[in-house]
Chain A
Amino acid sequence: MSFLDVLAIIIPAALYTAAPLIYTALGGVFSERSGVVNIGLEGLMLFGAFTGVVTTLTIQDSMGAASPWIAILVAAVGAGIFSLLHAVASITLRADQTVSGVAINFLAAGLSLFLIKKMYGKGQTDFVDFRINKSDVPGLSDIPVIGDIFFSRIPYTSYLAILAAIVVWYIIYKTPFGLRLRSVGEHPMAADTMGINVTRMRYIGVVLSGVFAGIGGSIYALSISGNFTGGTISGQGFLALAAMIFGKWHPLGAMGAALFFGFAQSLSITGAQIPFLKDIPSVYLIIAPYVLTILALTGFVGRADAPKASGIPYVKGKR
Chain B
Amino acid sequence: MKKRKIGMALSLVLAAGTILGACGSNEGDKKEGTDKKAENFKVGLVTDTGGVDDKSFNQSSWEGLKKFGKEFGLEEGKGYRYLQSEKEAEYIPNLGKFADGGYNLTFAAGFLLEDAVQTAAEQNTGTNFALIDSLLMNEKFEPVFLDNVAAVTFEEHQGSFLVGAVAAKQSKTGKVGFIGGVDSPLIKKFENGFKAGVKSVNPDIEVIAQYAGDFNKPEKGSSIASTMYTKGADIIYHAAGGTGNGVFTEAKNRKKNGEDVWVIGVDRDQHEEGMPENVTLTSMVKRVDVAVYEISKMAMDGKFPGGKESVFGLKENAVGIAETKDNVSKESIELVKQYQDKILKGEIKVPKTDDEFAAFEKTLK
A: which residues have CB within 8 A of B?
1, 5, 8-9, 12-13, 16-17, 85, 88-90, 93-96, 99-100, 102-104, 106-107, 109-114, 117, 121-124, 126-127, 129, 131, 133-135, 153, 220, 223-227, 229, 231-232, 234, 265-266, 269-270, 272-273, 282, 286, 313
Contacts and interface: CB of A to CB of B under 8 A. Distances in A.
A69 B249 CA distance: 17
B227 A273 contact: yes
24 contacts: A5-B230, A93-B4, A94-B4, A95-B8, A99-B11, A103-B11, A103-B14, A106-B18, A107-B15, A110-B21, A124-B55, A126-B272, A127-B273, A127-B275, A129-B275, A153-B253, A223-B249, A224-B222, A225-B218, A225-B249, A226-B218, A266-B223, A273-B208, A282-B183
B15 to A, nearest CB: 5
A89 B8 CA distance: 8
Interface of B: 3-4, 6-8, 10-11, 14-15, 17-25, 50-51, 53-55, 183, 208, 210-213, 216, 218-220, 222-224, 226-228, 230-231, 242, 245-246, 248-249, 252-253, 256-257, 272-273, 275-276
Contacts of A232: 218
Given A109-B18, A123-B51, A273-B228, A93 B7 contact: yes
A273 B14 contact: no
Contacts of B3: 93-94
With a 10 A CB-CB cut-off, give which of B3, B14, B242, B276 has the most chain A CB atoms: B14
Nearest to A133: B253
A169 B180 CA distance: 41
Main secondary structure of the interface of A (DSSP, over half): helix
A232 B22 CA distance: 17
Q: Considering the complex of A and B, which 10 residue pairs feature the smallest CB-CB distances, nearest first?
A: A110-B21, A95-B7, A93-B7, A103-B14, A106-B18, A110-B18, A122-B53, A114-B21, A225-B218, A123-B51
A122 B51 contact: yes
Contacts of A226: 218, 245, 248-249, 252
Given A122-B51, A122-B53, A226-B248, A113 B21 contact: yes
Nearest to B14: A103
Contacts of B223: 13, 16-17, 265-266, 269-270
Contact of B53 (A111, A123, A126, A272): A123
A267 B355 CA distance: 30
Nearest to A126: B272
Most B Cβ at <10 Å: residue of A93, A117, A232: A93
A96 B222 CA distance: 39
A18 to B, nearest CB: 10
Contact of B15 (A96, A103, A117): A103
A29 to B, nearest CB: 22
Given A96-B11, A123-B50, A131-B252, A107 B18 contact: yes
A110 B20 contact: yes
A269 B224 contact: yes
Nearest to B8: A95
Contact of B231 (A12, A89, A273): A273
Nearest to B216: A231
Contacts of A9: 226-227, 230
A94 B7 contact: yes
A93 B22 contact: no
B219 A17 contact: yes
B129 to A, nearest CB: 24
B220 A269 contact: yes
B220 A265 contact: yes
Contact of A13 (B20, B50, B226, B231): B226
Contacts of B53: 121-123
A107 B17 contact: yes
Contacts of B17: 103, 106-107, 110-111
